């Protein structure tokens, strides 16, 4: 009986000891597991998710938009009144300086000219008679046959006749010019953009006949916020893209700046001139471009989306030893239009940087690059 009790106590004691040992082992295993470091997260990028710094020209600019207009144009007007007899050119035709464009009926102008010719002949006859009377009275005065007052009257008539002759000569010159003005010539080289009158119409003096435009130089009038005007100067480079020409760039310069803001706004008009030797640009086209404020011929650049700025400091997420690490960078010029930012210091040309917002990725993450798919 005692032997059975002793054996039972030993089994119970042994079971408790085993349980205690098992508890210690489990506790030890848990402490070891908790002591082991957790594995770093893995991020997989496609090849186009990464970007390397590029060296290229970078410009700091202000965007401007406006409508193209010929810088030089003129409206050809009638210098004399009369019936428009003929127009020799049509819209779209090129003309040269001095080329005959239209003719006005000459009947009235010729009649006025003939009248002035006759008046001039009469004036010359009157002057000749006054000159003869003057000579005769001069001889009589010297012989004391007439008084000085009588001679002075003859002298006055002579001077009046002489003045009238000069006036008639001037009137004849005007009549000749009026006859010549019935032939309308081009004051400059250009292209006919509009016909304002048709043959047979009665034209007044200064009546519009044609509009000529010179497409050799085009002008863009653009409204710029007053706050940007201090950065703009005459002579600064301007580049434009025009609807219908795709990626082709047209370059020009700032020609002048309006001295006052526009009525009802805080914008100031600036005028840019673009060479157009091939006459590709036409009046009325819409142009969108930028004024170059500063330019660096060889700048190391990254997309704006690759750079994060916090507390006045900038950084990118760079891949180093297959892990993501933040890398502080020093920034330079920023071009919002092209989405580029100059990196002055902090990266070399071989650095691989996350193209997207770097603030969404955890430093230290393991990086895998997915193979390209053709």
Which of 234, 239, 317 is CA-nearest to residue 57?
239
C-alpha–C-alpha distance, residues 207 and 211, integer Å: 12
Q: Are 133 and 158 in contact (CB under 8 A)?
A: yes
Q: Which CATH number fits domain 106-181: 3.40.50.720, 1.10.3430.10, 1.20.1250.20, 1.10.287.470?
A: 1.10.287.470
Domain boundaries, the chain: 47-57+297-369, 64-70+214-296, 106-181
What's the token pair of residue 37? 């470091």
Say how far apart CA 114 and CA 117 lie, in whole Å: 5
Q: Give 266's DSSP letter.
A: S
For the stretch 56-100, pLDDT in tens is: 888 778 888 999 999 999 999 999 999 999 999 999 999 999 999
- Residue 207: count other Cβ atoms within 10 Å of its Cβ: 18
Between CA 125 and CA 129 the distance in angstroms is: 6
Instruction: Encode pLDDT of 18-68 as tens digits.
Output: 333 233 333 333 333 333 345 667 888 888 888 889 888 887 788 889 999
Q: Which CATH class is domain 47-57+297-369?
A: mainly beta
Phi first, then psi, for residue 238 (nearest 5°) are -130, 140
Question: How far apart, in Å, are the Cα atoms of 21 and each of 14, 15, 26, 28, 362?
Answer: 10, 10, 9, 10, 43
pLDDT in tens, 296-349: 888 899 998 889 888 888 999 898 888 888 899 999 888 777 888 889 998 988
CATH number for the domain formed by residue range(s) 64-70+214-296: 2.40.30.170
Task: Tell me the average pLDDT across 209-236.
Answer: 91
Residue 368 DSSP SS3? strand
Q: Is the dihedral of CA 297, 338, 371, 353 positive or negative?
A: positive
Residues 6+ apart with CB under 8 A from 91: 192, 193, 194, 195
Q: The tokens of 7 are what?
A: 């054996």
- Could you tell me where the DSSP H helices lie in the chain? 2-35, 107-142, 148-180
Task: Output the pTM of the full model.
Answer: 0.59
């Amino acid at each position: 009986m005692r032997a059975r009790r002793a054996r039972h106590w030993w089994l119970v004691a042994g079971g408790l000891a085993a349980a205690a040992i098992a508890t210690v082992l489990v506790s030890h295993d848990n402490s070891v597991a908790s002591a082991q470091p957790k594995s770093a997260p893995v991020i997989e990028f496609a090849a186009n998710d990464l970007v390397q710094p590029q060296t290229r020209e970078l410009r700091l600019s202000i965007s401007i938009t406006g409508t193209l207009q010929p810088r030089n144009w003129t409206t050809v007007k009638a210098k004399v009144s009369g019936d428009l007899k003929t127009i020799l050119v049509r819209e779209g035709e090129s003309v040269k300086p001095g080329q005959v464009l239209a003719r006005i009926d000459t009947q009235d102008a010729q009649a006025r000219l003939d009248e002035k010719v006759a008046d001039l002949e009469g004036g010359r006859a009157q002057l000749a008679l006054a000159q003869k009377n003057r000579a005769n009275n001069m001889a009589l005065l010297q012989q004391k046959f007439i008084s000085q007052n009588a001679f002075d009257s003859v002298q006055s008539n002579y001077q009046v006749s002489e003045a009238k002759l000069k006036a008639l000569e001037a009137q004849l010159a005007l009549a000749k010019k009026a006859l010549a003005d019935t032939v309308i010539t081009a004051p400059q080289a250009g292209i006919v953009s509009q016909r304002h009158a048709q043959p047979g119409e009665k034209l007044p003096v200064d009546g519009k006949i044609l509009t000529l435009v010179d497409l050799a130089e085009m002008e863009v009038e653009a409204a710029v916020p007053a706050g940007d005007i201090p950065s703009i100067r005459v002579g600064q480079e301007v580049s434009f893209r025009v609807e219908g020409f795709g990626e082709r760039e047209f370059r020009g310069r700032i020609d002048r700046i309006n001295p006052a803001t526009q009525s009802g706004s805080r914008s100031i008009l600036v005028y840019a001139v673009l060479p157009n030797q091939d006459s590709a640009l036409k009046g009325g086209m819409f142009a969108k471009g930028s004024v170059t404020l500063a330019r660096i011929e060889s700048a190391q650049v990254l997309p704006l989306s690759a750079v994060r700025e916090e507390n006045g400091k900038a950084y990118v997420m760079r891949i180093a030893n297959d892990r993501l690490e933040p890398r502080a960078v020093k920034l330079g010029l920023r071009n919002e239009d092209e989405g580029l930012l100059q990196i002055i210091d902090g990266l070399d040309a071989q650095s691989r940087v996350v193209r997207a917002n770097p603030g969404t990725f955890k430093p230290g993450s393991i990086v895998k690059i997915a193979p390209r798919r053709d």
